Amino acid sequence: MPVESVTMPELRKLIDSALGYVLIDVREQRELVHGVIPTAKHIPLPELTTALEMPAEDFEKKYGFKKPGKKDNLVFYCRTGGRSHTAAMIAKQKGFNAKNFVGGIYEWSAIDPRVKKY
C-alpha cells in the first residue's frame, strides 16, 4: 500500500493556512527535547495501532487532543522519515487518510531555530 509524501513547502502551507490537517509526531517522548514542528500532536509509534483503535473519549484523555476521523488529513513525521512512513502505512491500513512528511526533524530544523537536528 503506497504512502503519499508531503514536502516541506506543502507542510509549511498547511501550517500557515491552518487548513484541516492533524500533524502527528511519532518519535519517542525523550526525543521531543530537540523540538517539535508547530501544531504537532504526539503519539509514539509503538502506541499508534492501539491509539487508532481506542474509543474517542479514551484517546482524548490519553493524548490530549480529539481523535482524528478517517477522513481527516493526517500527516506523520519523525526524525528522518522512516518511522513516520511506517506510521502512515499503519493508519492507511486502518482506513485513515494518512501521509508522510519525509523530511522530518532533519529537514524542518533548517527553517526553525526551535528545532534541532540530532
* Residues acting as catalytic residues: 78
H/E stretch holding 23 reads strand 22-25
d(CA 3, CA 10): 16
DSSP H helices, the chain, are 8-17, 48-53, 56-63, 82-93, 104-108
Cell 527535547 belongs to 33
Q: Shortest CA distance to 53 belongs to which of 20, 22, 82, 90?
A: 90
